[in-house]
Chain A
Amino acid sequence: MRLTLGPVLFNWPAARWRDFYFRIADEAAVDTVVVGEVVCSKRTPFLAEATPLVIDRLRRAGKEVVLASLALVTLERERRGVAALSSSAGLMVEANDVSGLAALAGRPHAVGPLIQVYNEDTAGYLARRGARRISLAAELPASAIARIVAAVPETTVEVLAFGRAPLAISVRCYHARAEGLSKDNCRFVCERDPDGMTVETLDREPFVAVNGLQTLSHACVDLAGEADWLAAIGVGALRLSPQTCDMVMVADQFRRVLDGAAAPDEALAALRAAFPQAPHANGFLYGRPGMSWVARDDAAPAPPAHSAAS
């Protein structure tokens, strides 16, 4: 089982973004790093200068680098951006919109979690057209993951194992809207919330985290307790999605669990301490509400992958 660091989804200042990846290159126990602005094309220019430096540093450290494409493409300059990215020589590109698939079909590429892959037929079709990696949507239960993995043995199937789950994307900017601004005149207010803007119900129940055009879970997905099941059914990589917490330490915890060097409970405790701003959740994997936590002892009677295969 390999570890992938997903792209930074939030609007981090360029220097912070660059330094984050430099440290990942130097210290993190991840095999693959996905780099690029996925959420909002207005942010893309800010990362232009640092991106080649980051890619170079990561590659020299032996990391596989994958470039991520934009999630929601409507503007001409966004189309041109996907086309330019897709022609990047020597690096794999992760399509996060079907326009990326259109540009990448026929050669090796990655399919990101914002493309709808829900079953083995779709995964198989994409694999036949060159998908070497498929990162699955957060809401997929273990039963579906197991079927998909079995259908595409040559393709690395990846599952989100840590971080806030991307739940929705829109052309409307909710960060701007919360401040009474419009998307075109947003003043980049999303920069104030490097883990997303907490959204609560009127009864003060935490609900989601807003990241500009994107809505993420308030809860932090955490599958350290299920990492061994996922490995057993053939999931090829776990995706760790960057939050402001110590992602080097997060990667270490997952590596230790996978290597049998730490007990799942030990890792879960460490991960909760690392990102205490939100409850940790694993409900999606069990076919329950994604915001819920299912204690593995309660997951009767067998690991979900086994019940799926029966």
Chain B
Amino acid sequence: MELICPAGTMGAFRAAVDAGADAVYCGFRDATNARNFPGLNFSRAELGEAVAHARTRGARTFVAINTFPTAGDAATWRSAVDDAVELGADALILADIGLLDYAARTHPGVRRHLSVQAAASNVDSIRYFVESFGVKRVVLPRVLTVAEVAAITAAAACETEVFAFGGLCVMAEGRCQLSSYVTGQSPNMNGVCSPASHVTYRDEGETVVSRLGDLTVDRFAPGVPAGYPTLCKGRFRTDRSEGYLFEEPVSLDAYELLPELKRAGVSALKIEGRQRGRAYVEQVVRRFRAAIDALGHAGRAPPGDLAAMSEGQAMTTGAYRKTWR
């Protein structure tokens, strides 16, 4: 299994390569990628530098152009594709049907990977993307059990890649408009979810209230660290319950499932976190590198302590276990 690692900065990119990434994925500094955060991502010159650095170490560079092009502005997304190819990207990670069509026609020799944002959650959807656009690999959405991942991988007409660690969408990725409902900006259109520009923290006596746009996402008692108000990780009320209706503020950690994922036949494991610092990247990549190498020797790497690296410092195996549903 390949290890595919995130980078939002040159520092993180080098750290990922040095820690044993088989490939690093990154995006341009604009709305063409799904981590369009201030101070993050790569200029054209930086991407060229990154590709060259990866090559000297035998690693590959994947470029994520995985938002949905704004109507009337196809040129921005097409030039991102053209420039990534020109700068030596080993694969393009794409989600939009129109952009996949463009990349397949314009750069047929460059590998196209299907972004998780395309939400291909079954063999028939994957077949559509393979037959239509020559997709070589699909990043599976985080809605599948390990058994379903295995069945899809066995039947799919291309390689599969699955998330192993990091932030966890609880909604099917690429199909969520919660953020734009509250802020006007969404992952699909703007490359952001619950954007920082719309976050406020309000003190009410000893209580800290985290808000996104005009809504309270959570309230934190004195002494409890106030978390980031991601909409689907907030606490809400219904007439029958109160609490984390969608999901607790947890991160995905599939470390214990690596032997099962290997048996499932997946080609690659993906680490989430292009918005995270180089220390996170280095630690997580090192741990998963050791684990994958140990699997090859029929052994098992000792669990590293990554809880402090995760969002909310609690972990889940998410949809990989059927009970999550």
A72: which of B96, B131, B143, B242 is its contact (CB, 8 Å)? B143
Contact with B along A286-308 (1 / 0, CB 8 A): 01111100000000000000001
The answer to whether A172 has its CB under 8 Å from any CB of chain B is: yes
Contact with B along A168-211 (1 / 0, CB 8 A): 11111110011110111000000000000111111111011010
Whether B188 and A173, one on each chain, are in contact in the complex, defined by CB atoms closer than 8 angstroms, is no
Which chain A positions have C-beta within 8 A of B183? 289
Whether B172 and A169, one on each chain, are in contact in the complex, defined by CB atoms closer than 8 angstroms, is yes
The answer to whether B97 has its CB under 8 Å from any CB of chain A is: yes
Assuming the contacts A122-B98, A215-B178, A290-B181, asked whether A203 and B144 have C-beta atoms less than 8 A apart, the reply is no
Whether B71 and A284, one on each chain, are in contact in the complex, defined by CB atoms closer than 8 angstroms, is no
Once bound together, how far apart are the Cα atoms of A121 and B106, in whole Å? 14
Whether B237 and A72, one on each chain, are in contact in the complex, defined by CB atoms closer than 8 angstroms, is no
> At the interface with chain B, which of A14-22, A137-145, A230-238?
A137-145
Whether A139 and B241, one on each chain, are in contact in the complex, defined by CB atoms closer than 8 angstroms, is no
Whether B125 and A97, one on each chain, are in contact in the complex, defined by CB atoms closer than 8 angstroms, is yes
A183: which of B181, B209, B325 is its contact (CB, 8 Å)? B325
Once bound together, how far apart are the Cα atoms of A118 and B74, in whole Å? 11
The answer to whether B184 has its CB under 8 Å from any CB of chain A is: yes
Which chain A positions have C-beta within 8 A of B322? 184
Tell me the smallest distance from the CB of A189 to a CB of chain B, in Å: 9
Which chain A positions have C-beta within 8 A of B314? none
- A interface residue count range (under 10 / 10 to 19 / 20 to 34 / 35 or more): 35 or more
- B interface residue count range (under 10 / 10 to 19 / 20 to 34 / 35 or more): 35 or more
Residues of chain B in range 195-250 having any CB-CB distance to chain A below 8 Å: 209, 213-219, 232, 234-242, 245-247
Residues of chain A in range 128-154 having any CB-CB distance to chain B below 8 Å: 137-140, 143-148
The answer to whether B174 has its CB under 8 Å from any CB of chain A is: yes
Once bound together, how far apart are the Cα atoms of A284 and B180, in whole Å? 8
Whether B98 and A74, one on each chain, are in contact in the complex, defined by CB atoms closer than 8 angstroms, is no
Question: Of all chain B residues, which has the CB nearest A78?
Answer: B122
A202: which of B74, B102, B174, B237 is its contact (CB, 8 Å)? B237
Assuming the contacts A79-B124, A139-B181, asked whether A119 and B236 have C-beta atoms less than 8 A apart, the reply is no
The answer to whether A108 has its CB under 8 Å from any CB of chain B is: no
Assuming the contacts A147-B72, A202-B216, asked whether A167 and B181 have C-beta atoms less than 8 A apart, the reply is yes
Whether A210 and B122, one on each chain, are in contact in the complex, defined by CB atoms closer than 8 angstroms, is no
> At the interface with chain A, which of B34-42, B113-121, B272-280?
B113-121
Tell me the smallest distance from the CB of B95 to a CB of chain A, in Å: 7
The answer to whether A46 has its CB under 8 Å from any CB of chain B is: no
Assuming the contacts A169-B172, A289-B183, asked whether A73 and B121 have C-beta atoms less than 8 A apart, the reply is yes
Once bound together, how far apart are the Cα atoms of A22 and B97, in whole Å? 38
The answer to whether A41 has its CB under 8 Å from any CB of chain B is: no
The answer to whether A114 has its CB under 8 Å from any CB of chain B is: yes
Tell me the smallest distance from the CB of A155 to a CB of chain B, in Å: 14
Whether B98 and A124, one on each chain, are in contact in the complex, defined by CB atoms closer than 8 angstroms, is yes
Once bound together, how far apart are the Cα atoms of A147 and B218, in whole Å? 39
The answer to whether B186 has its CB under 8 Å from any CB of chain A is: yes
Whether A179 and B241, one on each chain, are in contact in the complex, defined by CB atoms closer than 8 angstroms, is yes
Which chain B positions have C-beta within 8 A of A249? none
The answer to whether A253 has its CB under 8 Å from any CB of chain B is: no
Tell me the smallest distance from the CB of A58 to a CB of chain B, in Å: 28
Once bound together, how far apart are the Cα atoms of A127 and B75, in whole Å? 21
Contact with B along A68-110 (1 / 0, CB 8 A): 0001111100110011000000000000011101110100000
B125: which of A102, A197, A202 is its contact (CB, 8 Å)? A102
B236: which of A105, A166, A199 is its contact (CB, 8 Å)? A199
The answer to whether A217 has its CB under 8 Å from any CB of chain B is: yes
Whether A121 and B98, one on each chain, are in contact in the complex, defined by CB atoms closer than 8 angstroms, is yes
Whether A168 and B177, one on each chain, are in contact in the complex, defined by CB atoms closer than 8 angstroms, is yes
Assuming the contacts A139-B189, A167-B177, A171-B172, asked whether A98 and B184 have C-beta atoms less than 8 A apart, the reply is no
Whether B184 and A138, one on each chain, are in contact in the complex, defined by CB atoms closer than 8 angstroms, is no
Once bound together, how far apart are the Cα atoms of A121 and B124, in whole Å? 22
Assuming the contacts A126-B97, A183-B325, asked whether A170 and B214 have C-beta atoms less than 8 A apart, the reply is no
Whether A172 and B181, one on each chain, are in contact in the complex, defined by CB atoms closer than 8 angstroms, is no
Assuming the contacts A102-B125, A121-B69, asked whether A202 and B235 have C-beta atoms less than 8 A apart, the reply is yes
Whether A102 and B124, one on each chain, are in contact in the complex, defined by CB atoms closer than 8 angstroms, is yes
Whether A202 and B219, one on each chain, are in contact in the complex, defined by CB atoms closer than 8 angstroms, is yes
Which chain B positions have C-beta within 8 A of A121? 69, 74, 96-99, 101-102
Which chain A positions have C-beta within 8 A of B215? 201, 205, 207
Whether B124 and A73, one on each chain, are in contact in the complex, defined by CB atoms closer than 8 angstroms, is yes
The answer to whether B170 has its CB under 8 Å from any CB of chain A is: yes
Once bound together, how far apart are the Cα atoms of A144 and B96, in whole Å? 15
Whether B98 and A147, one on each chain, are in contact in the complex, defined by CB atoms closer than 8 angstroms, is no
The answer to whether A116 has its CB under 8 Å from any CB of chain B is: yes
Q: List 15 A-B contacts (CB under 8 A).
A: A74-B122, A98-B119, A98-B128, A101-B128, A105-B128, A105-B132, A119-B69, A120-B71, A147-B71, A168-B177, A169-B171, A170-B170, A171-B172, A171-B325, A172-B170
Residues of A participating in the B interface, judged by any CB pair closer than 8 Å: 71-75, 78-79, 82-83, 97-99, 101-103, 105, 114, 116-126, 137-140, 143-148, 165-174, 177-180, 182-184, 197-205, 207-208, 210, 215, 217, 283-284, 287-291, 308
Top 6 A-B pairs, shortest CB-CB distance: A121-B98, A118-B68, A147-B71, A99-B124, A144-B71, A122-B98
In the complex, besides A167-B176, A170-B246, 16 extra interface pairs with C-beta distance below 8 angstroms are: A74-B143, A97-B125, A102-B127, A116-B118, A118-B70, A119-B68, A119-B70, A119-B71, A124-B98, A139-B188, A148-B71, A168-B232, A170-B172, A202-B219, A210-B245, A215-B178
